[in-house]
Amino acid sequence: MKTIKGPGVFLAQFAGDSAPYNTLAGMAAWAAEKGFKGVEIPTWDTRLIDLARAAESQTYADEILGILAEHDLTLTDLASHLQGQLVALHPAFNLPADSFAPGAVRNNPQERQRWATEQLHLAAKASRRFGLSKHVTFSGTLLWPYLYPYPQWPEGLIEEGFDELTRRWLPILNAFDEQGVDVCYEIHATEDLHDGLTFERFLAKTGNHPRCNMMYDPSHLVLQGMDYLAFIDHYHERIKAFHVKDAEFRPNGKSGAWGGYQPWSSRAGRFRSPGDGQIDFSAIFSKLTGYGFDGWAVLEWECCFKNPEDGAREGAKFIRDHIIRVTDKSFDDFCKSWADPALNRKILGL
């Protein structure tokens, strides 16, 4: 067993255009003041990082690590959710997701996809320069519009969708393999990899690629009505990253998992600050610790009620209080007998 690292915080939901949220130095000071020990940097946010420079310049990468070190912070990993989404985007999302890309490639799906793919290759190189072994991203969403089979899927549609997803991602997985970095897909609604079975299907298509792994966020499993604890039992060998985000799912006579197009505050399933939802994080931390997970517990704050400053401060304490410092001895050592093969045989009547 190993002690989970933390608390860490994903900076994406907190970054902004005013100080201290508009620079990495400002956010580092903010995170340290809140009680965090690590930060996860969103690679699409140019206020916090220049991904191309990080991929090509060790000096620049060391400067970023130095900024964090000034506040006793560690870089937990880099994240590329927005770019990963654009690697495999269904045309239905062309306009809604166009803002994820820079202006030069908007309204041009082919160039946008090429840009997104290049971004992932840069992320692989940058991760190595930072000395990281894991990277968090999204898989993309070629098949999400066809989640429910009505009208019936044309024969071969789902197979072709996963084949294409694999064609786009396999070169990226190989690029990460060259850098010694795992790709951790966030299992998330709207993504083609949104549950265990879709991940298994993609993993098989990649030939069980060693760099094809998961980022575990129980909130997305709760909102699907899944057993988020049994999920760890099934996939602990592929879980390489962990977001701490709470959720609650309270279906009623009018609405359920799909939400009825309501705002987050009115949905049956909604994200909450850690400790305010239904997720049993004590059980999650116990399971992950028992399976030897040695990564970071990283707060991803999304809540439709609580102030983000309160959510961050409380989230840091929540994670810190749930981390289990593993024992170096057994609790019943005091009454344990010394190894004695002859005695063992005698006890058994042999």
Mean pLDDT by 10 residues, the chain (350 residues): 95 97 98 98 98 98 98 98 98 95 96 98 98 98 95 97 98 98 97 98 98 98 97 98 98 94 95 97 98 97 96 98 86 66 87
Q: Which domain holds residue 67?
A: 5-347
The pLDDT score that the predictor gives to residue 97 is 95
User: Which residue, among 5, 20, 31, 17, has the nearest Cα to 312 in the 3D structure?
Assistant: 31
Record the pTM.
0.94
What is the rounded CA–CA span in Å between residue 19 and residue 47? 11
Other residues' Cβ atoms within 10 Å of the Cβ of residue 139: 25
For residue 38, give the CATH number of its domain: 3.20.20.150
What is the rounded CA–CA span in Å between residue 23 and residue 16? 9
Task: List C-alpha distances in Å: 235 to 135, 230, 246.
Answer: 18, 9, 20
Task: List C-alpha distances in Å: 177 to 101, 122, 293, 324.
Answer: 25, 13, 20, 31
The pLDDT score that the predictor gives to residue 327 is 78
The tally of domains found in the chain comes to: 1
Q: Is 29 exposed, middle or buried (0-12, 13-18, 19+ CB in 10 A)?
A: middle
Q: Which strand (E) or helix (H) includes residue 302?
A: none
Tokens coding 178: 């060259």
Other residues' Cβ atoms within 10 Å of the Cβ of residue 117: 20
| Entry field: residues in the chain | 350
Please give the single-letter amino acid code of residue 296: W
